[in-house]
Structure 1
Amino acid sequence: MEIIPSSRFRGTVKYIRALVFISLILAILFTVCIAAVIALAKFEGAPPLAVPQTTVFYADDGTKIGESDNGQKRYWVSLHDMAPSVIEATVAVEDKKFFEHHGFDMKRIIAAIIADVKAMRKVQGASTITQQYARNLFLTLDKTWMRKLQEALYTIRLEVNYSKQDILEGYLNTIYYGHGAYGIEAAANYYFGKSAKQLTLSEASMLAGIPKGPSYYSPFIDEKRAKARQKTVLLSMVESGYISKKEAEQAYEAPLVYSRDHEVAKKQIAPYFQDVVKQVLRTKLGLNERTIEMGGLRVYTSLDPKMQTIAEQQIRQTIGPASAIQVALVAMDPRTGEVKALVGGRDYHQSQYNRAVQAERQPGSTFKPFLYYAAIEQGFTPSTEMRSELTTFTFDDGSTYTPHNYNNYYANDTITLAQAIALSDNVFAVKTHLFIGEEQLVQTAKKLGITSKLKKVPSLALGTSPVKVVEMVNAYSILANNGKKVEPVFIKKIVNHRGETIYEATQSDEQVLDPDAAFVTTELMTGMFDPKLNDYTTVTGQTIINDITRPYAGKSGTTETDSWMIGYAPQLVAGVWTGYDRAEKITKMAEKQYAKKIWVQFMEKSLQNEPVKTFKPTKGVVGVYINPDNGKLATRACPVKRLTYYIFGTEPTEYCTDHLQKKKKNKPPKAKPNNWFEKFFEWF
C-alpha cells in the first residue's frame, strides 16, 4: 500500500478546505441573492393582476347591446365561475406541478435544456403557468436576456404576493385562445356560445389545448389537429389523476357543437346611443380612452331596446329611401331623465354625425311653451286675450319686426292664450314676449337646462336661436314632471372588472319651476290635440288626432328648414326633428308632416302596454269649464265648454253672456194673456 506523503496530504486537505469555503461563500451569496430578490419582490408589492378587457354595454333590461373591444374579446371571471374541468385541464397540460413549485419548475427546466441540446434547437418549453402569466401580463415579446430577467422578477413578485388561486385565475383570464378571444370566458363564448361555467369536459379539454398554438390548434382552422391536441390534454388529465381513462375516452368521443354566430355580421344596436355613452364616460366621468375600450367595465345604460326598435322602425316606415331628409329622435323618462331611445340619423354606417346631441337647429314654435310658462309666472292665465292680426313692432332704435302666422292666417280679433298655443299664433307669442320682457324667456330656458346660446331678440319667442334635440326633450321633461330638475341620464351604473360599483346615477330633488305654473303650461299644451280650440285655423295637432288614444301634451314647430314635434304623456317624453343637413328648405308638404307622424306612432306603440294616465293636477290649481272662444266661465247656453286649469285665484269669475244674449235675441216675443187664468198663472 502506497503511503501518501504528508506534504501531498496537506495539499489535498488544503484544496478541499478551499473548495468547501468557496462553496459556502457561494451558498451564502446565493441565499443572500434569493433573500434580496424576495425582499425586493415584497418591497415592490403586489403587481396589478388586471389586464385589458372588453368593456360591455347593457340595456335597461340587462341584455347586452354592445362591446368595446378593438377586435379583442376579454372578460374577467372568477375561478368559481369556471367549470372545474377547465381548471384541471389547463393545469394538467400546462403545468402539472403548479401547486407545488414556487414559480419555477427546476426539473422541467433541466429536462428542457437537455432536450434542446440534443436536438440542437428549441423543442421543449419549461415555462410554468406563473411565468406565462408574467409574460402575458407585463412584458413585451422581444427575446432578450433583459426580458428574461424581467420575466423572472415578475414571476417571483407574483408568487410572493399572490396565492396560487389568484395566479391561476389571472392566467385563465388572460391567455390567448385565438380569433381575438383572450381569457376562458371569451373563448367559451366564441367557440361554444356559452359561459366558462357551462363548459363540459369535452369542451374544456378542447379549449385547454388551443393556447399552445392558437393559429395551429384552433378547431376553426384545423379540427383534426385540434382533436389530436384534445387527446393529449385528456391523457394529461388522466396522468394527473383528475379523470379516469374511461371519462377521457367518453369526452374525446363526445360530439362538439361549435357556435358560428360570430361568423355572421351582427347588426349594431343603437349605435348613436352607444357613442353618446362613450362620450359621457370620457367627459362626465373622466375615463381615458384605454379604460373605456379595454377596461373590462360593465356599463349599465338606460336604453329600452323595445322603444329603440320602435323608433328605428317608425323612421324607416315614415321616410322613404329616396328622400335625403335627415332625422333625430330622443325619448326620455320625465321622472328620472333616463334616455330610453335615441336616433342620431337615418344610417349610422353612412354618417356617424349624431344629430340628436350634436346638431343645433332652430326649434321654431316648440320654444313657445317656455315663453308661456314665463308669462303664467308673470300673471298671465289661459284666458288672457290679445289681438291676432298682422302687426309691425317698432323699437326705440328705429328697427321694426313683423312676425307672420303660418299661411298668413290671422283672427283679426282677440284670442285667448289657450287658443294661441294650440293654434301656434306667432303674433300673440311675440306680443307676450315683449310684454313680459325678453330676459324672462332666456332665464326660463336656462332653468329648463337649455345651454345653447340664446339671442335676446323679439324672434326668440318663435324659436330662432338654434338648440339641440336632447336639450329640448330634457326641457319638456321638466315641464312634464311639474318642474323638478332632471338631466339626460345615459348611464345608470358602472361596474369594474372586479364587480365593484364605481359609478351610480343619482336623482335630483331640486325644484326649478313653480309646480302649479308648470302644470298649467302642460294643460295648455294638451290644446294642440283639442278641436274645441279651433278658431281662425285648426289646432296644430289636427292631422294626428285620430292616431291618439291617450292624453298628451305637446308642441310642434316648423321653420323653413326644420320640422319638430315634441310631446309627452306622464310616463314618457319624446322629441323628433327632421330636416336637411345643409339647411335646405323643406318644400314638400309630406316632409313637413314627418316629425308629427314619427312622434305619434312612436309614442302610441311605446306606451301600448302601459296604463293610460292623465296629468295629475297640483295642489295649487283649480279646473273650471270655460268657453274657449273668450276664456269666460261657460254656461249651459255655451255650445262648447272646455275644462281648463288655472293657478288658484286666477281663474275667471265672469260668466259668458254671448250665447245668452243671442238666445234672448232670437226668442219670439211672448203673447199677452187673454184670460184671467193665464194672467193669474203668469203672476204666480
Structure 2
Amino acid sequence: MEAVRIEQLKRARKYLRMIFVIAFILLIFSLFIIASIVIYAKIQGPPPLTVPQTVIFYTDDGDNVLDEVHHGEKRYWVSLGDISPFLLQATLSVEDKRFYQHHGFDYKRIAGALLADIKAMSKVQGASTITQQYARNLFLEHDKTWKRKMEEAFYTIRLEANYDKNRILEGYLNTIYYGHGAYGIEAASRAYFGKSASNLTLSEATLLAGIPKGPSYYSPLLHFDNAKKRQQIILNMMVEDEFISKELAHTTHKENVTFTSASVEHKEADAPYFLAAAMVQLKDELHIDEQMIQTKGLRVYTTLDATLQKIAEEKMDETISAQSSIQAAFVAMNPKNGEVKALIGGRDYTESPFNRATQAVRQPGSTMKPLLYYAALEDGFTPSTVMRSERTTFTFDDGASTYTPSNFNHYYAKGPITLAQAIALSDNVYAVKTHLFIGQHRLVETAKKMGITTPLKRVPSLALGTSPVKVIEMVNAYSILANGGAEVKPTFIRKVETYDGELLYEAESEKKQVLDEGLASVATHLMTGMFSESLNGYTTITGKPILKYISRPYAGKSGSTSTDSWMIGYSPELVSGVWTGYDKGKSIDSVPERSYAKKMWVTFMEEALRKQPISSFEQPKEVKKVKINPENGLLATDACPVKHTAYYMSGTEPTEQCTDHLYNSSESAPTKEKTQEKTKWYKKWLPWFN
C-alpha cells in the first residue's frame, strides 16, 4: 500500500509540474500576446478622435450667434475645464468608478457583472468602462457580435496606449448621446437647461449624467419620473464615492429644476442667403474641406451686421407688395474693406434657395454707366465734355450693322449736353457715343479692373448694360469708387478658428490701388448728380422720385431694362445695391414695380445711417471744385440762372466763362416791367404743367 501511495504522489507531482509548466507557458504566451497587442497599438499610433461637430457662425460683433450648422449630430466640443465638476463626478460614479486606476478594462467590474448575469440567468449588468464606450462611439457600430467586441477591445487598448485619461474622458463627454439630437455635454446642457456645461448645478448635472444609459427612457423631458429615479441612484453613488454628503444628496433630489422651452432642433437661420454665400466662400475660396467643416467644430466669424440685415429685410417687405411675385436681391458692403454687412438673395429662402445676389446674372442697365464714365475720365473727358443728345443711328462692323439707342420716353435734348448732365439724366445716346469714342474695349477693361468677373460682350449696347452681371459684382465695383479707387473684394468671413482656438483663416487688410484716386473722386461727384436738381434739363434727374427721403449726400445710379430694375449707391460709410425683377425674364410692366428698387435702396440707406453723423464726400488735393453752367459746362457767372458745383482734376477745369446770359454792353438790360409786358399771359402758367 505504501508503495502504491508513493507512486501516486510521484504521479501527482508530475502532473502538478506539468500543469505549472503549461500554466507558466500560457502565462508567458498571454503576456507576449498582450505585450504584442500593446506594442502594435503603440505602433499604430493614436486613433483619430474626429467626430461630427457643429459649426457656429457669429455676426460681425463676434458675440452673437448667427446660426449653427451640424450634420445630424448637434455637438460643441468643450475642454474638461469648461465642464461642471458635478457632471464629471456624477459621470465617474455611475459609469466608471475606477476610471483613473484601470488601463481600459475593469476586471473587478467584469467579474461582478459576470456573477450577476449567472445568478439572474440573463444579462442584467454591464461592465464597459468609459474608454470602451468611447471606442464604441468613435469607431464601431452597436451590433452585438464577437467581431465587434474584439474590435472594441483593440480600439480601447489603442486609446489607453496613446492618450492620457483626461483626454479620453473629455472625448467621451463630448461624444456621448444625451437624446433629443444633442451629442456631447455642451449640446445637452444648452438643449435641456439653456446654459453652458460649465454652469451646471448638482441637480442638473445628475439628471444629465443619467441620460446616456437610455436617452429616451431617462429623458427628463419625456419621462421625468424615470429621470428622477435614475438621479437618486447617481446621488447615492456620489455619496458612496465621497463626492457629496448624504444631506446634500437628499436636498438635491428634492430640488426643482427649470428646463428650457427652446427646441434642440435646428431653427431657420436669420440670414439664410448670407449663410449660404459664407459657406461657399468657406469651401471654395478658403479651401476648408468638408471633413474639416464636419469635424473641427469651426467657429466662423462673419461680416454680417445683424441690425443692417434686419433693416434690409424690413424695407424689402415694406416696399414690395405681398401680392407681387417679383423677386429681389440686395447687398450692402463696407466700401473700406469689402465686408458684406447684409445680403438678401430672394423673397423667401424656403421657397427658393437660389441666391439672386451672388448667383444670378442680370442686365444692369444704366448702372453700368459709372464704369463707362470712369474709363472716359481716364481718356480725357471731364464733367464739362459736351456731346449732342438726339436720336442717332450708329453704324459699326464696317457698315454691316446698325444700332439706334433711345432715351426714356424718347426724350432728347436735341442739342449738346455735358457729361455731368448726361449721367444725372441718364442720357443713353451720350453713353453710346462715349463708349464708341473711347473704344468698346475700354469699358470691358475697366469693368474687369473693378471686379466684374462675368464675361462682357464688346457691343455698342454694353454702355447701356445689356451684358448680364451679378448683383454682388456691381455693388463691389461701386465700392471701389467709394473707396477712392482702392481694391476691395466681397467677403463674408473675417476669421475662422477650430473649437480649440487654432486659427485657420483671417482676412487680410492690404489695399491695392486699382483706379486713380483723383478720377475716382471725380466719378463719385458725377454720381451725386442724380440727386442734384441743378442738373435738370430736357428731363428731370433720375433721382427725383426719392429726393423727399434723402437727408444726406449720396452718390449713385439707377438702371432699368424691360426685365430688370436696379439702384446702387453709397455714402462715405456704406454702399448698397438693389435689383428687382422676375426669375424667368418676365417684363416689369407696372409703374409701382419699377419703383421698388429705388425706394428700397433709399429707405434702407436712410435707416441704416440714421444714427451716424452726416458726412460729405472728400476729394484729394488734386481735385478742384468750381461752379459751372450745367447746360454748357462753362464757368458760371452771376448772370447764370442755374449753377452747379462740379469737380475736376486740377488743370482740366473750365477756364472760359459762360456768356449765354450776359447782355451786350451797348444794350441796356430790359426792365422787369418790360419783360412782363413781353411775356404772354399763358406762358406764365406753363411751368406748372412741365
Regarding TM over 0.5, the answer is yes
Is the Cα contact below 8 Å between 2:191 and 2:264 reproduced in 1?
no
Q: Of 549, 562, 587, which residue of structure 1 is paired with 2:551? A: 549
Q: 2:403 aligns with which of 393, 401, 410?
A: 401
Deviation at 1:221, TM superposition (A): 1.0
Q: Which residue of 2 aligns with 1:644?
A: 646
The answer to whether residue 546 in structure 2 is matched with residue 573 in structure 1 is: no
Report the CA distance between 1:88 and its aligned residue.
0.6
Aligned 1:255-654 pairs, distance under 5 A:
255-262=256-263, 266-293=267-294, 295-395=296-396, 396-654=398-656
C-alpha distance in 1 between matches for 2:389 and 2:405: 11
Larger displacement relative to structure 2 (541-550 or 638-647):
638-647
Q: Distance in 2 between matches of 1:411 and 1:353?
A: 42
Structure 1: distance between partners of 2:581 and 2:230: 60
Offset at residue 547 of structure 1 (A): 0.6
Confirm or deny: 8 A CA contact 2:531 2:543 kept in the other structure.
yes
**Measured at CA, do residues 490 and 383 of structure 1 come closer, stay the same or move farther in structure 2, by a change above 3 Å?**
same
Change (3 A) 1:563 1:665: farther
- For the 8 Å contact 1:68–1:294, the answer to whether it is kept is no
**Hey, what's the Cα distance between the residues in 2 that align with 1:586 and 1:471?**
23
CA distance in 2 between partners of 1:619 and 1:668 (Å): 43
Amino acid at match of 2:357: A
Whether the 8 Å contact between 1:485 and 1:508 is mirrored in structure 2 is no
Distance 1:662 1:23 in 2: 132
Letter in 2 for 1:627: N
1:54 is the counterpart of 2:33? no
**Tell me, which stretches of 5 or more residues in structure 2 are unaligned?**
672-690
Task: State whether residues 94 and 129 of structure 1, in contact with CA within 8 Å, keep that contact through their aligned partners in structure 2.
Answer: yes
CA contact 2:181–2:265 (8 Å) conserved in 1: no
Deviation at 1:286, TM superposition (A): 2.7
| Residues in 2 aligned to 1:661 and 1:93: alpha-carbon distance in whole angstroms | 104
The 1:538/1:591 distance shift into structure 2, 3 A limit, reads same
Indicate the SS of the match to 2:661.
helix
1:292, CA displacement in angstroms?
A: 3.0
Question: What are the equivalent positions in structure 2 for 1:144-163 lying under 5 Å apart?
Answer: 144-163=145-164
Runs of 4+ in 1 over 4 A off after TM superposition: 1-6, 263-267, 662-666
Structure 1 position 265, deviation (Å):
8.1
1: CA distance, partners of 2:571 / 2:438: 29
Q: Kindly state the Cα deviation for residue 449 of structure 1 after the two structures are TM-superposed.
A: 0.8
**In 2, distance between residues paired with 1:438 and 1:358?**
26
**Aligned equivalents of 1:595 and 1:5: distance in 2?**
114
Alignment-mate amino acid for residue 565 of structure 1: M
Deviation at 1:611, TM superposition (A): 2.3
Residue by residue over 1:479-525, the C-alpha shift from the partner in whole angstroms, topping out at 9 and shown as x without a partner, is: 11011111110111111122211111113311111111111101100
Task: Report the alpha carbon displacement of residue 442 of structure 1 after superposing the two structures with TM.
Answer: 0.3
Q: How many angstroms apart in 2 are the aligned matches of 1:167 and 1:236? A: 22
My pick for the range that moved more, 111-120 or 465-474, is: 111-120
Query: What CA distance in whole angstroms lies between the structure 1 residues aligned with 2:585 and 2:658?
Result: 47
CA distance 1:263–1:81, shift in 2 (3 Å): closer
- Structure 2 counterpart of 1:107: 108
Shift of 1:662: 6.9
Q: Relative to structure 1, is the Cα distance of residues 663 and 348 closer, same or farther in structure 2, using a 3 angstrom cutoff? A: farther
Counterparts of 1:507 and 1:264, CA distance in 2: 38
How far the C-alpha of 1:59 sits from its partner, in A, is 1.0
Deviations 1:417-448 (A, max 9, x none): 00000000000000000000000000000001
Deviations 1:189-222 (A, max 9, x none): 0000111011111000100000000010001111
Higher deviation after alignment, 54-63 or 439-448: 54-63
Q: Whole-Å Cα distance in 1 between the matches of residues 474 and 424 of structure 2?
A: 19
Distance 1:87 1:620 in 2: 69
Alignment of 1:162-241 (within 5 A): 162-241=163-242
Structure 1 residue 564: deviation in Å? 0.1
Mean CA deviation greater in 5-14 or 61-70: 5-14
For the Cα contact (< 8 Å) 1:69–1:294, is it kept in 2?
no
Cα distance in structure 2, aligned partners of 1:566 and 1:601: 13
User: What is the rounded CA distance, in whole Å, between the counterparts of 2:594 and 2:273 in structure 1?
Assistant: 24
- After superposition, the C-alpha distances for 1:72-98 in whole angstroms (9 at most, x for unaligned) are 311100111111101111111111111
Q: Contact 2:340/2:492 (CA < 8 Å) preserved in 1? A: yes
Q: Conserved in 1, the CA contact under 8 Å of 2:52 and 2:73?
A: no
Q: Which amino acid in 2 is paired with 1:138?
A: F
CA deviation vs aligned residue, 1:267-315 (integer Å, no higher than 9, x gap): 4210111111111222112334454345411111111110110111011
The separation in 2 between residues aligned to 1:415 and 1:203, in whole angstroms, is 77
Cα distance, 1:137 vs. partner? 1.0
Indicate the percent of aligned positions where both proteins have the same amino acid. Answer: 60
**Structure 2 match to 1:137:** 138
Is contact 1:68–1:292 with CA below 8 Å preserved after alignment?
no
Q: Secondary structure at the match of 1:327?
A: strand
CA distance in 2 between counterparts of 1:139 and 1:584 reads: 55
Distance in 1 (alpha carbons) for counterparts of 2:664 and 2:158: 99
Partner amino acid, structure 2, of 1:216: Y
Alignment match, 1:677: none
Structure 1 distance, partners of 2:593, 2:219, is: 54
C-alpha distance in 2 between matches for 1:403 and 1:307: 39
Cα–Cα, structure 1 residues 23 and 557, in superposed 2: closer, same or farther, change >3 Å?
same
Deviations 1:624-668 (A, max 9, x none): 222222111122222322221111111111111222237975526
Could you state the TM-score of these two structures normalised by the residue count of structure 1? 0.95
Query: How far apart are the structure 2 equivalents of 1:294 and 1:29?
Result: 41
Structure 2 Cα separation of the partners of residues 268 and 118 of structure 1: 55
Q: Which moved more, 1:642-651 or 1:261-270?
A: 261-270
Matched letter for residue 571 of structure 2: A
Pairing 1:18–2:18 present: yes
Contact 2:52 2:70 survives alignment (8 Å): no
**What's the counterpart of residue 680 of structure 1?**
none
Q: 1:264 to 1:102 in 2, by over 3 A?
A: closer
Distance 1:668 1:616, change over 3 A: closer
Whole-angstrom CA distance in 2 between matches of 1:587 and 1:237:
75
Q: Is the 8 A contact 1:486 1:507 kept in 2?
A: no
SS of aligned partner of 1:217 = coil
Question: Does the aligned pair in 1 maintain the 2:335–2:488 contact within 8 Å?
Answer: yes
How far did residue 619 of structure 1 move? 3.0
2:676: which partner in 1? none
- Relative to structure 1, the CA distance from residue 662 to residue 501 in structure 2 (aligned partners, 3 Å threshold; closer, same or farther) is farther
SS at match of 2:280: helix
Q: Deviations over 1:530-568 (max 9, x none)?
A: 000000111100011111111110000011110000000
Contact 1:561-1:583 at 8 Å conserved across structures: yes
One-letter code aligned to 1:82 = I
Q: Distance in 1 between matches of 2:577 and 2:8?
A: 106
User: Hey, what's the Cα distance between the residues in 1 that align with 2:323 and 2:47?
Assistant: 58
Bigger mean CA deviation after superposition, 327-336 or 280-289:
280-289
User: Cα deviation per residue 1:597-633 (whole Å; 9 max; x = unaligned)?
Assistant: 0000111111111222211112321112222221111
- Offset at 1:118? 2.1
Deviates more, 1:406-415 or 1:55-64: 55-64
Match of 1:253 in 2: 254
| Counterparts of 2:405 and 2:438, CA distance in 1 | 18
